[in-house]
Amino acid sequence: MLYTSPALETLIERLSRLPTIGRKTAQRLALYLLKQPREDVAALATSIGTLQERVRTCSICANITELDPCPICRDSRRDRNVICVVEEPNDVLVIERTNEFKGLYHVLGGSLSPLEGVGPEDLKVRELLMRLRADDETSVKEIILAMDPNVEGEATTLYLAKLLSPLVDRVTRIARGIPIGSDLEYADDATLARALEGRTIV
Ligand SMILES: [Zn+2]
């Protein structure tokens, strides 16, 4: 259905490009916004508009942050002997929620996928190696690999284990209690906490 308003049509078209939002949902959202108080819609537009200006990636761990280094990298109470390697910034939030991990993170920005043409050079692997070699990070004793439990995550775990083993005392992986083929984010806190606790040497 085409609307008589190009502004509305443009918004629907843009919203429908977002993940999980099809044309129908986009229409519903756009018409909903149309009925909301003008200041609420303006506030939403502002927060979308300033998102990329304010949010950057941490120059140490590649997590998303407004301050560089990010609050986790800056926090002197965090255990600098352990780095947990994850695929996406969302995984940091998920692991933080368990309150089980007090070390530092490294966000790869994805996982190895030969099928989709994603190789180590497309991920923050070089940055991780540089971190381990940097003077102030030589205290790293353990690297925990916390990839998603799927084929790409497994390939990434094996690749990193081989690469990192000579550089640190221990490379471990989170236990497999998380359903295979899923995302870390779908694991409940207790399962993830158990998976962290029960991690094994790779
Ligand atoms: Zn950081």
> 175-194 pLDDT, tens per residue?
876 665 567 777 778 888 88
With cut-offs at 50, 70 and 90, classify the pLDDT of residue 11: very high
How close is the Cα of 176 to the center of ligand 1, in Å?
26
CA 161, 167, 170, 173 torsion-angle sign: negative
How close is the Cα of 59 to the center of ligand 1, in Å?
7
User: So what's the pLDDT on residue 135?
Assistant: 61
As a whole number of angstroms, the distance between CA 152 and CA 162 comes to 16
As a whole number of angstroms, the distance between CA 139 and CA 119 comes to 28
User: So what's the pLDDT on residue 4?
Assistant: 83
User: So what's the pLDDT on residue 106?
Assistant: 97
Question: How far is C-alpha 25 from the chain's CA centre?
Answer: 26
Task: Work out the mean pLDDT of the chain and round it to a whole number.
Answer: 90
Give the pLDDT confidence of 136-183 residue by residue, as tens digits. 556 899 999 999 988 999 999 999 999 999 999 999 999 876 665 567
Is 86 a residue whose pLDDT tops 90? yes
As a whole number, mean pLDDT of residues 9-32 equals 95
With cut-offs at 50, 70 and 90, classify the pLDDT of residue 22: very high
As a whole number, mean pLDDT of residues 111-115 equals 92
The one-letter code for the residue type at 99 is: N
How close is the Cα of 60 to the center of ligand 1, in Å?
5
Residue with tokens 């991920």: 123
Is 49 a residue whose pLDDT tops 90? yes
Q: Are 107 and 136 in contact (CB under 8 A)?
A: no
Considering only CA atoms, which of 80, 88, 97 is closest in space to residue 191? 97
How close is the Cα of 65 to the center of ligand 1, in Å?
8
Q: Are 175 and 114 in contact (CB under 8 A)?
A: no
User: So what's the pLDDT on residue 201?
Assistant: 86
Instruction: Give the predicted TM-score (pTM) of the model.
Output: 0.79
With cut-offs at 50, 70 and 90, classify the pLDDT of residue 114: confident
User: So what's the pLDDT on residue 184?
Assistant: 76
How close is the Cα of 105 to the center of ligand 1, in Å?
7
Tokens of 35: 């009925």
The one-letter code for the residue type at 179 is: P
